[in-house]
């Protein structure tokens, strides 16, 4: 009988010395679960002979489905809890129902914020915006007064200043769809101003919008023609808009349009720009 020796990993097994290297490889392949390296998953108990085998071949989701996959009952419970929390959040942050449409007044309409408080408190909290004539070009309106919008103040000029427009039809188009036609003509006028660079951009842009309101074709506008080439001077279009202050008045004019929604927005915005063109342009 050929001599044999015991395995160092499993002392109960004996390996014959005849071709002991081949026999040891076969033995270790059959007893790979008895190696010195334990599985990293808690409670697995599996052992391997090589640490890299434990990491690469054993630590897979297919080896431990209970460790990598949640039970179906737990998944259903988590889904129900998430759905209940989402419904509670939506109910707590839902917008209030829209208020009933109010009849248009002769003067400026009350602010939506002031309409929800008692009359005594409304007189204290409602603050009209200062007239645009008293604002400097680089001075934006106060942040605390931004929630109350009043009609533009009359300014002495060659034409009649625009008054507070009448409220648009109740249940009309959203504000974005209402302002889209105005924005298209306004952006086209600004592109032409950035190339021509007139000294009175507010008056030029206001008259341009009035001509668009009157139905004059855009390609036949000779006063503010479409620019064939870009501006080659040293001043950028941002510096030009800031120096002339036209951006501030466009923002204010669009705020009035979004709040009051007059029937003829192009005409109203054009008159607004022409009226205030004499403040800084002379």
Computed over every residue of the chain, the mean pLDDT equals: 66
34: three-class secondary structure by DSSP = strand
In tens, the pLDDT along 128-158 reads 444 444 444 444 444 444 444 444 455 444 4
Distance between CA atoms of residues 89 and 77, nearest Å: 19
Predicted pLDDT at 267? 92
pLDDT band for 210, please (50, 70, 90 cuts): very high
Predicted pLDDT at 17? 52
Instruction: Kindly report the backbone phi and psi dihedral angles of residue 234, in degrees, each rounded to the nearest multiple of 5, phi listed first.
Output: -85, -20
- Choose between 103 and 192: higher pLDDT: 192
For the chain, give the percent of residues with pLDDT over 90: 6
- Choose between 21 and 236: higher pLDDT: 236
Q: Is the pLDDT reported for residue 75 higher than 80?
A: no
* Cα distances (angstroms) measured from residue 89 to each of 79, 84, 85: 15, 9, 6
In tens, the pLDDT along 219-259 reads 777 777 776 566 666 788 888 888 888 888 898 898 888 88
Q: Is the pTM of this model over 0.75?
A: no
Distance between CA atoms of residues 110 and 124, nearest Å: 13
Which range among 37-46, 70-79, 84-93, 236-245 shows the weakest confidence by mean pLDDT? Answer: 37-46
Kindly state the DSSP code that residue 54 receives in the 8-state scheme: I
- Interaxial angle between packed helices 265-275 and 246-260, expressed in degrees from 0 to 180 and rounded to the nearest 10: 140
Which range among 5-14, 34-43, 184-193, 200-209 shows the weakest confidence by mean pLDDT? Answer: 5-14
């Amino acid at each position: 009988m050929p001599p044999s020796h015991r395995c160092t990993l499993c002392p109960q097994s004996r390996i014959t010395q005849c071709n002991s290297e081949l026999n040891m490889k076969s033995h270790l392949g059959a007893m790979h679960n008895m190696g010195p390296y334990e599985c990293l998953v808690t409670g697995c108990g599996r052992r391997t002979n090589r640490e890299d085998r434990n990491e690469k071949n054993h630590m897979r989701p297919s080896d431990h489905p209970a460790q990598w996959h949640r039970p179906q009952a737990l998944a259903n419970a988590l889904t129900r809890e998430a759905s209940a929390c989402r419904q509670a959040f939506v109910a707590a942050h839902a917008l209030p129902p829209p208020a009933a449409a109010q009849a248009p007044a002769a003067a400026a309409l009350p602010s939506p914020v002031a309409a929800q408080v008692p009359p005594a408190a409304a007189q204290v909290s409602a603050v009209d915006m200062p007239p645009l004539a008293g604002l400097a070009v680089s001075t934006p309106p106060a942040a605390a007064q931004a929630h109350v919008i009043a009609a533009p103040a009359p300014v002495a000029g060659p034409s009649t200043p625009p008054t507070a427009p009448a409220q648009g039809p109740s249940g009309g188009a959203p504000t974005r769809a209402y302002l889209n036609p105005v924005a298209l003509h306004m952006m086209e006028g600004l592109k032409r101003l950035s190339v021509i660079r007139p000294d009175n951009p507010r008056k030029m842009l206001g008259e341009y919008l009035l001509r668009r309101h009157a139905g004059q074709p855009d390609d036949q506008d000779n006063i503010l023609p479409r620019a064939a080439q870009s501006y080659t001077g040293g001043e950028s279009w941002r510096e030009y808009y800031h120096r002339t202050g036209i951006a501030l008045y466009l923002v204010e004019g669009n705020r009035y349009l979004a709040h009051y929604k007059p029937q003829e927005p192009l005409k109203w915005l054009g008159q607004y720009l022409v009226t205030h063109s004499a403040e800084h342009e002379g």
